[in-house]
Structure 1
Amino acid sequence: MSDNQVKLNEGLSRYEILVDGQVAGFAAFRENVDGVRDFNHTVVQPEYRGQGLSTPLIQEALDATRTEGKKIIPTCSAVEHFLGKNENYRDLVAQ
């Protein structure tokens, strides 16, 4: 059984999901001056695809963003798709 963890990598402006300590994927964002995060790219490395990692990655990235009191722009199609399936996160979208 693998050990998954989502962490903020501030230097690269992205949340990373680690599987057994290895970066398996990330949700990158651009921080706008008004406190809005533009989530613009989500990647799960080929060798980790099909393991359901994008959902916990995006969920934890959005939870952390909410905790920080920030809003989002879902430029990335994966984040937009997640929002379509999870109504309780739609309040995070900047108007």
Structure 2
Amino acid sequence: MDRFLAISPKSQMWLFHFALALNILGMVLTDMWVPMVVGAIVTTYLSIDAMVRVRYVLPIKKAMRELEHENATLRRKVNDIEQASDY
């Protein structure tokens, strides 16, 4: 999911939504239907992918990172207690 690293995921989402709106506007205003339909399909996919990434994937990754950190902290505490009880 780390395909576009030059701009933030939220900016990507807005960029792809804007591109989709321009594609739809182009379909309404011009007679170039085939390229516009293909462009609309591609930008729809990119818009949905970016929105899913911003709303679901990134918060889950953040939560997983926090849980892994908490798990490591608890493991260290358990190891310290086990070492103290061995003496």
TM-score between the two structures when normalised by the length of structure 2: 0.29
Q: Name which one, 1 or 2, has greater alpha-carbon Rg.
A: 2
Bigger RCO of structures 1 and 2 (CA < 8 A, at least 6 apart): 2
